[in-house]
Amino acid sequence: MLYINCPHCGMRSQNEFSYGGDASVKRPSLNKEVSDQEWDNFVYNRKSLRGKHLELWQHISGCRQWIKVERDTSTHEIFRTFKADEEVAK
Amino acid sequence: MSLISALANVHITGQFGDHEGKNENDLLKVSEIKNLLIVQIAQYKNSSVSFESIDIDGLKIKNEPLTVTSNQNTRIMWSGPKNWLLVSSKRDLKKNILDKFKDTDFAVTDLSHSRAIIEIEGKETIEVLKKGCPFNFNTLKKNNSINSTYNGIALIVDKIDEEPNKVRLFTLRSFGESLYHSITDASLEFGYRSL
């Protein structure tokens, strides 16, 4: 079982969280011409990375906030967690 | 207005489980708490008004994780950033809350009818909670509260007292009976007195 350090509540079990997908996907900016390929990339196409990955999780049975989690997809090691509106320095 | 008990169909008084030969005072006590005012207070994201100075029944709300501010009648639990659950035996407090938390900045919702509350008291209280809840209860002190799950049922644990431990569990009313079954089942091993 994973333990995730919620930036709001502290260390909690993965059972309290819900996975929300890739946190590095950026929505195409508003009022900009968007090609079908760009829109497909935003909505559907995802990389299946092995290694460090920035993910969205929601603390659904806790504070109900969305957070960002930096996790290794092969070892499941969690390096850092951030509030959803925090910018992540690489 | 008095409330219809959420656990009326399942809560039976008596002694259950491994209680024989044990001192009655050492047994776990499981009871249903009724007729409390339960109000959820949430500050809107775009609101910037200060809430530190707002006083409800002599209590100030704090935006600190796990924190419960309390007096004899009222407890205000932190349940998320700028989100609190107020529980009080003073049912007339609602008007005061609505006056102080302006609807331009706060969402105030009366949840009195939509929660089931179970109170557990006794030495083995934390052992019962550990059986179904993934939280590390060694870190939960008196006047702390957490949102978590018990056998998959979302609940709020409010630690009212230590030595002996006393907690209140809040869950959605419709999950109340399931939670009650889970809690009493976990308590059988220690023996419990249902009040």
**Domains of chain A and any CATH numbers:** 1-25+50-90 (3.30.2270.10)
Digit-coded pLDDT (tens) for B89-119:
999 999 999 999 999 999 999 999 999 999 9
Backbone angles phi, psi at A41, to 5 degrees: -65, -40
Q: Is the pLDDT higher at B23 or at B117?
A: B117
pLDDT computed for residue B2 by the predictor:
59
- The per-residue pLDDT string of chain A (90 residues; one tens digit each, 9 = 90 and over) reads 899 999 999 999 999 999 999 999 989 998 889 999 999 999 999 988 899 999 999 999 999 999 999 999 999 999 999 999 888 876
Chain B residues whose CB is inside 8 A of the A17 CB are none
A35: Cβ–Cβ under 8 A, 6 or more apart, which residues?
none
Cβ–Cβ below 8 Å for B147 and A65: no
pLDDT at B1 over 60: no
pLDDT computed for residue B16 by the predictor:
93
Cβ–Cβ below 8 Å for B80 and A62: yes
Cβ–Cβ below 8 Å for A16 and B146: no
Cβ–Cβ below 8 Å for B148 and A64: no
Residue B144 touches partner A, C-beta closer than 8 Å: no
Q: ∠ CA B18-B155-B158 to the nearest 5 degrees? A: 80
Which residue among B65, B81, B149 places its CB closest to the CB of A61? B149
The candidate with the shortest Cα–Cα distance to A59, out of B80, B42, B121, is B80
Interface confidence (ipTM) of the complex: 0.89
Looking at residues B29-38, what average pLDDT do you find?
94
Its pTM stands at 0.92
| CA A71 to each of CA A53, A77, B174: distance values in angstroms, whole numbers, following the listed order | 5, 6, 36
Digit-coded pLDDT (tens) for B45-72:
999 899 888 989 999 999 999 999 999 9
Q: Categorize the per-residue pLDDT at B25 as very low, low, confident or very high, splitting at 50, 70 and 90.
A: confident
Q: Are the C-beta atoms of residues B157 and B186 closer than 8 Å to each other? A: no
Cβ–Cβ below 8 Å for A15 and B149: yes
pLDDT computed for residue B3 by the predictor:
67
Cβ–Cβ below 8 Å for B81 and A16: no
pLDDT computed for residue A44 by the predictor:
95
Which residue among B65, B79, B81 places its CB closest to the CB of A10? B65
pLDDT at B10 over 60: yes
Residue B146 touches partner A, C-beta closer than 8 Å: yes
Digit-coded pLDDT (tens) for B137-195:
999 999 999 999 999 999 999 999 998 999 999 999 999 999 999 999 999 999 999 99
Which pair of tokens denotes residue B171? 């869950």
Chain A residues whose CB is inside 8 A of the B136 CB are 11
